[in-house]
Chain A
Amino acid sequence: MSQLAGASGARPMDRLRDALPRIVLSPSVAIVAVFVYGFILFTIYLSFTNSRILPDYELVGWRNYHNLFRIRAWNTAVVNLAIFGLLYIAICCCLGLFLAILLDQRIRAEGFIRTIYLYPMALSFIVTGVAWKWFLNPGIGLQAVVRGWGFENFSFTWITDGKMAIYTIVIAAVWQTSGFVMAMFLAGLRGIDNEMLKAAQIDGASSFVLYRRIVIPQLRPAFMSAFVVLAHMAIKSYDLVIALTGGGPGTATELPATFMYSYTFTRNQMGIGAASAVIMLMTIAAIIVPYLWSELREKK
């Protein structure tokens, strides 16, 4: 791009300079236009076809949507995503902020502790899922160990209980990403203007008030990053469920991502898979777009 600038004459150079920001942004915009929005349109089209093993372009109307809502597992998946998404985002944000504030108190060995909090992100759930599965299994995991210590009445059987199993997914998911959220908040905390804090402190404000009134409001952009990251993880949670419960017991921990994958690729009903993807995207849009709108508008 600097080559471009050098090659041009004086007047075109000025015009180029004005256009430069747009030129820099344009590859990203073009890529996203094709590979995100183009693909969304393609999926919408597929959802109205009778595609099975590969795309088929013959239209069948609303049949896939009609069938989708007659499938029990889909309803379970949608309800589960609501439970899982809310808990996961809320817990990760609170825990991440809490840990970030604690770590911001001039802690010895901060780097070491931070790495411990962060490392779960590094591990692929293909295998950590097995470790969690064992840990949560009443016969060999936590329950067995605590009983071994002499607490014979201790009981922890969530993973085998269809009503509670979704919460074990929350525990493992929080374990994986809360450290990363902590890092984002920590980056935010350290970017805050110290002068303002010192001034408030001289005025005699307590630590709690300082955080509540001055620090946390300044973390808004960090909250936004965290929310987007977490919402994205919640929606895409696939490996986690497959490794931990495989969607079971029964279909109790089915999520839209596992549902979509299974209909598109395992069950050779690509049309229904596409329909579920479209519904999922619409739901996401309904939640995310207003949020982004309000966040971004205020900045202007």
Chain B
Amino acid sequence: MMPGVSMDNPVAARSRGFSPGRIVLYLILGLFCLYYLLPLYVMAVNSVKPLSEITSGGMMSLPDEWTLAPWRAAWSQAQVGVEATGLRPYFMNSILMVVPAVALSTIMGALNGYVLTKWAFRGSTVLFGLLLFGCFIPFQMVLIPMARMLGLMGLAGSVAGLVFVHVVYGIGFSTLYFRNYYAAFPTELVRAAQIDGAGFFRIFWRILLPSSGPIAVVCIIWQFTNIWNDFLFGASFSDFDSQPMTVALNNLVQSSTGVREYNVHFAGAIMAALPTLLVYIVAGRFFVRGLMAGSVKG
């Protein structure tokens, strides 16, 4: 089971080396890299300029004077409330909320997907459809009834409440991802294990989970990004001591009648995105490794 072999795409395998086709291929990929990187360029380049350079018009050009002051300010000095704390204290709040919420919704999604594909029962497809339709409920609509329910459950203004909300509205998608992935997983393997006497959880743990890498990565990326970047729930259901990162970033960026320090805003925005970026880079490796494991299935 050589990793190199298992990763081979047989269609691509014919065209190795540097043919003109390959050069065009790399050119196209490079062009798209530019498209995706352009806004980041605008943000990055303006985050290392003094404010005067930005307002005097040079928004697309490289800085005349390089400075890291905006980054320092966004991290620990900028005003995001009455105290000039920067974004630093809010990181922990977000992590405390995101990690359990992502873990819970992914686990629930995996189990749901497993049941819906390998242990389907009468009416399970309809149930899946109903779960899925829940993805489309606009969040603005659920805000008020949700607040009421959290109040009744005693979870108002707590991290547990926030985690709960994110799990509730994350189930639909995580179930969708795992269900569609497990649908392609050979059912014969599951039946064989059943005959050998393996139970519900054992089959899940030993047979499906080891090959769930790629889809778990997709699901985690999705949940992590959505929950980390959520503003509406974070602002509405948190308390003064549990406001997540996005609320702080929003406070930094949205001033009503005050001076707008764009350079600090951009530095803050890139900073706030770093944990998600880290997830992409780290998870990306498992993406590939998951594929290798997946190749065993054949």
Contact between A and B in the complex (any CB pair below 8 Å): yes
Residues of A within 8 A of B (CB): 1-2, 17, 20-22, 24-25, 27-29, 31-32, 34-40, 42-43, 54-55, 99, 102-107, 111, 113-124, 126-128, 130-132, 134-135, 140-141, 144-145, 175, 179-180, 183-184, 187, 189-191, 193-195, 197-198, 201, 207, 210-211, 215, 221-222, 224-225, 228-229, 231-232, 235-236, 238-239, 257, 260-261, 264-265, 270, 273-274, 277, 280-281, 284-285, 288-289, 292-293, 296-297, 299-300
Do B108 and A28 have beta carbons less than 8 Å apart?
Answer: yes
* Residue B273 interfacial (CB < 8 Å): yes
How far is it, in angstroms, between the C-alpha of A96 and the C-alpha of B250 when the chains are bound?
30
What is the CB-to-nearest-CB distance from B16 to chain A, in angstroms, rounded to a whole number?
7
Q: Which 6 A-B pairs have the closest CB atoms?
A: A127-B269, A122-B276, A21-B119, A221-B180, A36-B134, A105-B12
Q: A2: nearest residue on chain B (CB-CB)?
A: B201
Instruction: Write out, one digit per residue, whether chain B residues 194-225 have a CB within 8 A of any chain A CB (1) or not (0).
Output: 00000111000000000000110110011001
* Residue B127 interfacial (CB < 8 Å): yes
Which residue of A131, A179, A260 is within 8 Å of B138 (Cβ)?
Answer: A260
How far is it, in angstroms, between the C-alpha of A146 and the C-alpha of B80 when the chains are bound?
37
Q: Which residues of B contact A224 (CB under 8 A)?
A: 180
Known: A140-B59, A197-B10. 18 other contacts (CB 8 A): A1-B201, A24-B112, A27-B108, A29-B130, A35-B168, A106-B8, A111-B285, A128-B39, A130-B253, A131-B43, A135-B39, A140-B57, A191-B214, A201-B11, A221-B184, A232-B173, A257-B138, A289-B129
Q: B281: nearest residue on chain A (CB-CB)?
A: A115
Q: Which residues of B contact A222 (CB under 8 A)?
A: 180
Do B115 and A191 have beta carbons less than 8 Å apart?
Answer: no
Instruction: Write out, one digit per residue, whether chain B residues 29-51 have a CB within 8 A of any chain A CB (1) or not (0).
Output: 10011011111101100000000
Q: List 29 A-B contacts (CB under 8 A).
A: A20-B200, A25-B124, A29-B130, A36-B137, A37-B134, A40-B137, A42-B145, A104-B11, A105-B12, A107-B25, A114-B284, A115-B281, A116-B37, A119-B273, A121-B280, A122-B225, A126-B246, A134-B42, A135-B42, A175-B36, A184-B218, A187-B217, A194-B9, A194-B295, A210-B11, A238-B140, A277-B138, A288-B136, A292-B133
Q: DSSP majority for the B interface? A: helix
Q: B139: nearest residue on chain A (CB-CB)?
A: A236
Do A277 and B273 have beta carbons less than 8 Å apart?
Answer: no
Interface residues of B in 274-290 (CB under 8 A from A): 276-277, 279-281, 284-285, 287-288
Do B28 and A118 have beta carbons less than 8 Å apart?
Answer: no
Q: Which residues of A contact B291 (CB under 8 A)?
A: 190
What is the CB-to-nearest-CB distance from B265 to chain A, in angstroms, rounded to a whole number?
6
How far is it, in angstroms, between the C-alpha of A62 and the C-alpha of B265 when the chains are bound?
45
How far is it, in angstroms, between the C-alpha of A111 and the C-alpha of B277 when the chains are bound?
13
How far is it, in angstroms, between the C-alpha of A112 and the C-alpha of B59 when the chains are bound?
27
Q: B109: nearest residue on chain A (CB-CB)?
A: A28
Q: Which residues of B contact A40 (CB under 8 A)?
A: 137
Do B298 and A39 have beta carbons less than 8 Å apart?
Answer: no
Query: Contacts A124-B249, A260-B141 hold; do A187 and B119 have CB atoms under 8 A apart?
Result: no
Residues of B within 8 A of A (CB): 8-16, 25-26, 28-29, 32-33, 35-40, 42-43, 57, 59-60, 108, 111-112, 114-116, 119, 121, 124-125, 127-142, 144-146, 149, 167-169, 171-173, 175-177, 180-181, 183-184, 199-201, 214-215, 217-218, 221-222, 225, 229, 231, 246, 249-250, 253-254, 262, 265-266, 268-270, 272-273, 276-277, 279-281, 284-285, 287-288, 291, 294-295, 298
Which residue of B175, B177, B214, B268 is within 8 Å of A28 (Cβ)?
Answer: B175
How far is it, in angstroms, between the C-alpha of A187 and the C-alpha of B178 when the chains are bound?
12
Q: B226: nearest residue on chain A (CB-CB)?
A: A121
What is the CB-to-nearest-CB distance from A138 to chain B, in angstroms, rounded to a whole number?
13
With contacts defined as CB atoms under 8 Å apart, how many contacts are there between chain A and chain B in the complex?
Answer: 283
Q: Which residues of A contact B59 (CB under 8 A)?
A: 134, 140-141
Q: Which residues of B contact A187 (CB under 8 A)?
A: 181, 214-215, 217-218, 287
Which residue of B15, B29, B129, B201 is within 8 Å of A102 (Cβ)?
Answer: B29
What is the CB-to-nearest-CB distance from A71 to chain B, in angstroms, rounded to a whole number?
17
Do B269 and A207 have beta carbons less than 8 Å apart?
Answer: no
Q: A120: nearest residue on chain B (CB-CB)?
A: B36
What is the CB-to-nearest-CB distance from B144 to chain A, in angstroms, rounded to a whole number?
6
What is the CB-to-nearest-CB distance from B40 to chain A, in angstroms, rounded to a whole number?
7
Do B173 and A229 have beta carbons less than 8 Å apart?
Answer: yes
Q: B30: nearest residue on chain A (CB-CB)?
A: A113
What is the CB-to-nearest-CB distance from A47 to chain B, in angstroms, rounded to a whole number?
10
Query: Contacts A21-B121, A194-B10, A296-B129 hold; do A128 and B269 have CB atoms under 8 A apart?
Result: yes
Query: Contacts A103-B29, A211-B11 hold; do A35 and B146 have CB atoms under 8 A apart?
Result: yes
Q: Which residues of B contact A261 (CB under 8 A)?
A: 140
What is the CB-to-nearest-CB distance from B4 to chain A, in angstroms, rounded to a whole number?
10
Q: Which residues of A contact B42 (CB under 8 A)?
A: 131, 134-135
Q: Which residues of A contact B168 (CB under 8 A)?
A: 31-32, 35
How far is it, in angstroms, between the C-alpha of A25 and the C-alpha of B37 when the chains are bound?
41
Q: B276: nearest residue on chain A (CB-CB)?
A: A122
Q: A182: nearest residue on chain B (CB-CB)?
A: B32
Do B60 and A144 have beta carbons less than 8 Å apart?
Answer: yes
How far is it, in angstroms, between the C-alpha of A25 and the C-alpha of B116 when the chains are bound?
9
Q: Which residues of A contact B125 (CB under 8 A)?
A: 296-297, 299-300
How far is it, in angstroms, between the C-alpha of A86 and the C-alpha of B118 when the chains are bound?
34
